[in-house]
């Protein structure tokens, strides 16, 4: 291959407003080592990267990488409420956050993450668990919600509410137990609280309330779902991860603050589902015809906050949107599983 060499001490291009055009070609067009000199540059049209010859082989130039802090809120899907008869409410999805002073389960806020541009990061939004069914006459417990993930942070899905004669399921926050004095499920450390026990005392046969991010089920009274945590990562205060309330034969019990579903009231009130993108637990069923299926858990959410000099690229499998609050961007992911990058 013919080579033309130009030798000069200074190349002055200060009067040129355009760009310097490198040699370019596909990977297969790379000059052989015998025809190359250390420091040679070329644009690889196969990879879209600039390459430099290091004296032995052609290597891709490292792109400019910056590191920056990202705050997060990761809430898992809530558990489904138990089915059939005075069942337990579903536990809220586990909550982990670095924003503010407090995280789930009474823990202090976690540290922000140090991320870099050009790196792929995983995001997954957990679905809510399904409410338990009549099945018929015996009932089934609610199912656990799905985990939510952001990079190294995983929040655990809420535990399902127990059917009338079953324990509440463990999870980010635990599900409430069935009314036959069944215990609630355990919560996960630094994510949420345990579910409450059911009550088999006339006249108030009541399933246990599901646990929430800041309190256990039954804290506000028998069957009440635990309350969630108010966080202002988006710029406005929103409460997340409330537990679902248990089913009752005396009245419908409101769900815990933060998206928890109301408990069912026999033959009168259908159990409520957890609110979407809060991780709220579903309400427990109380029984009777169309009222014996537990409420579904609410889906989770992943929210990240980072300096607005950076831009996020969201993978096609994720549903997300970005807003600006002061000097920060806030990206909220409401569904899906995939990857993101920053630039």
| Chain segment 54-71, per-residue pLDDT in tens | 777 767 655 557 899 999
Query: What integer pLDDT is reported at residue 335 of this predicted model?
Result: 98
Q: Name the more confident of 165 and 50.
A: 165
Confidence of residue 1 (pLDDT cuts 50, 70, 90): very low
Interatomic CA distance for residues 12 and 57, integer angstroms: 30
At 61 the pLDDT is 59
What does the DSSP 8-state code read for residue 216? -
Residue 173 confidence (pLDDT) above 70:
yes
pLDDT confidence of residue 49: 72
Confidence of residue 50 (pLDDT cuts 50, 70, 90): confident
Instruction: Please compute, for residue 255, the number of CA atoms within 13 A of its CA located in the half-sphere on the CB side.
Output: 45
Spatial separation of the C-alpha atoms in residues 268 and 76, rounded to whole Å: 30
| Stretch 301-309: mean pLDDT | 97
**pLDDT tens-place string over residues 196-223:** 999 999 878 999 999 999 999 999 999 9
Closest CA to 82 of 3, 222, 202, 198: 198
pLDDT surpassing 70 at residue 260: yes
Of 136, 150, 146, 44, the C-alpha closest to 85 is 136
Which of 24-28, 59-63, 247-251 bottoms out in mean pLDDT, i.e. has the lowest? 59-63
Dump pLDDT digits (tens) for 81-136.
999 999 999 999 999 999 999 999 999 999 999 999 999 999 999 999 999 998 87
Contact between residue 184 and residue 174 where contact means Cβ atoms under 8 Å apart = yes
- Average pLDDT of the residues of the chain: 91
Q: What is the mean pLDDT of residues 266-273?
A: 93
| Residue 2: predicted pLDDT | 55
Q: Indicate whether 238 pLDDT > 50.
A: yes
pLDDT at residue 42 greater than cutoff 90: no
Contact between 38 and 53 under an 8 Å Cβ cutoff? The reply is yes
Question: Considering the chain, what percentage of its residues have pLDDT values greater than 70?
Answer: 91
What's the token pair of residue 39? 């420091």
pLDDT exceeds 80 at position 38: no
| Choice between 317 and 30, residue whose per-residue pLDDT is larger | 317
CA distance 115 to 130: 35
pTM above 0.75, yes or no: yes
Cβ atoms 278, 75 nearer than 8 A: yes
| pLDDT number for residue 20 | 67
Listed range (14-23, 174-183, 290-299, 306-315) with the worst mean pLDDT: 14-23
């Amino acid at each position: 291959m013919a080579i033309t060499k130009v030798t000069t001490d200074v190349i002055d291009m200060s009067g040129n407003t355009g760009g310097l055009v490198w040699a370019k070609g596909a990977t297969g067009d790379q000059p052989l080592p015998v025809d190359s000199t250390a420091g040679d540059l070329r644009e690889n049209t196969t990879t879209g990267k600039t390459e430099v010859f290091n004296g032995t082989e052609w290597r891709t130039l490292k792109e400019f990488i910056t590191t920056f802090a990202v705050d997060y809120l990761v809430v898992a899907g809530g558990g489904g409420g138990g089915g059939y008869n005075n069942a337990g409410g579903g536990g809220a999805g586990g909550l982990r956050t670095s924003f503010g002073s407090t995280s789930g389960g009474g823990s202090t806020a976690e540290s922000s993450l140090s991320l870099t541009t050009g790196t792929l990061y995983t995001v997954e939004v957990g679905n809510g668990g399904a409410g338990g069914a009549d099945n018929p006459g015996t009932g089934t417990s609610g199912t656990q919600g799905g985990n939510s993930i952001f990079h190294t942070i995983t929040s655990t899905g809420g535990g399902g509410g127990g059917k009338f004669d079953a324990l509440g399921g463990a999870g980010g926050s635990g599900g409430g137990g069935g009314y036959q004095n069944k215990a609630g499920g355990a919560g996960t450390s630094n994510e949420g609280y345990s579910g409450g026990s059911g009550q088999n005392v006339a006249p108030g046969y009541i399933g246990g309330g599901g646990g929430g991010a800041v309190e256990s089920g039954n804290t506000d009274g028998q069957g009440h779902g635990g309350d969630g945590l108010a966080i202002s990562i988006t710029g406005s205060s929103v409460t997340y991860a409330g537990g679902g309330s248990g089913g009752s034969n005396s009245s419908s019990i409101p769900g815990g603050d933060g998206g928890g579903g109301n408990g069912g009231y026999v033959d009168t009130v259908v159990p409520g589902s957890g609110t979407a993108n809060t991780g709220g637990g579903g309400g427990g069923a109380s029984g009777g015809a169309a009222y014996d299926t537990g409420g579904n858990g609410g889906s989770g959410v992943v929210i990240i906050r980072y300096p607005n000099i950076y831009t996020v690229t969201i993978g096609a499998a994720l549903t997300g949107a970005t807003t600006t609050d002061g000097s920060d961007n806030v990206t909220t992911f409401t569904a899906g599983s995939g990857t993101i990058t920053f630039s």
